[in-house]
Structures are given as structure tokens and as C-alpha cells.
Amino acid sequence: DAGVIQSPRHEVTEMGQEVTLRCKPISGHDYLFWYRQTMMRGLELLIYFNNNVPIDDSGMPEDRFSAKMPNASFSTLKIQPSEPRDSAVYFCASSSTDKNTEAFFGQGTRLTVV
């Protein structure tokens, strides 16, 4: 398996623009997580899905953030409008309850909002 695939790897955008981050989880995994990592706040869980259904979005910082998982092989995290304080590395991870539940991370998307 190719692992968790995220795109783009880097994104630079201007404040106020819409940003969409994409994730393809490992085939067969039933959990998908979106994390944000910054030096100040560490690794924060934004939202996670189980079997394509959002379970907990309490980590989503504001209404500007939204996430969808239309099917088992694809998820998006959207920020609209983006702000400079959204600059961070965003990780997608997936796991399977059938395989000891450890999470496998994608390579991350480094977002810079100027």
C-alpha cells in the first residue's frame, strides 16, 4: 500500500482565499483523522471520521474550517477564508480498528497564508 497520501505538499495562499487540503487514507482503514501541528500548540486533532461519518469536530478552531469524507478513499479539509494564523502543517492519518488502532500519517501539507 502507498500509505496515506496528502496533497498538496506545500500551499502558499493569500489571506482571504479558500484552501482545500486533500487526503487519501490507507485502503481498508475505517478511521481518518485531520491534525494540525505548530511549534506553539504541538499536534492538535481537528476532526476525525469513522466509516466516513464525522465523529468529533470539537477540535476545529472556527467555522472557517470544514471537513468532508464523501467516501472511504477521500477526505478534504477546507479553510474559507484563510488567515495568517492558519499557517501550520496539516496531517491526515488513518487507522483500522482491526489492526491494533495505530495511526499512519501522511506526509503533511505545509500551509502558509500570507
Site residues, other proteins (CB under 8 A):
30-31, 33, 42-43, 45, 48, 50, 55-56, 91, 95, 97, 100-108
Contacts of 65 (CB under 8 A, 6+ apart): 46, 77, 78, 79
**How do 88-95 and 31-38 pair as beta strands?**
antiparallel
User: 3-state class of 37 per DSSP?
Assistant: strand
Give the residue with the Cβ less far from other proteins, 50 or 73. Answer: 50
Is omega for the bond preceding 8 within 30 degrees of 0, making it cis? yes
Q: What is the DSSP letter of 85?
A: G
Of 51 and 80, the one with the shorter C-beta distance to other proteins is 51
CB of 12 to other proteins, least distance (A): 16
Residue 1 beta carbon to other proteins: minimum distance, rounded to whole angstroms: 15
The set of cell numbers assigned to 105 is 500519517
* Smallest separation (angstroms) from other proteins to the CB of 91: 6
Strands 109-113 and 10-13: parallel
| Of residues 14 and 56, the one with the C-beta less far from other proteins | 56
Nearer to other proteins, 71 or 100 (CB): 100
Q: How far is the CB of 95 from other proteins (least distance, A)?
A: 6
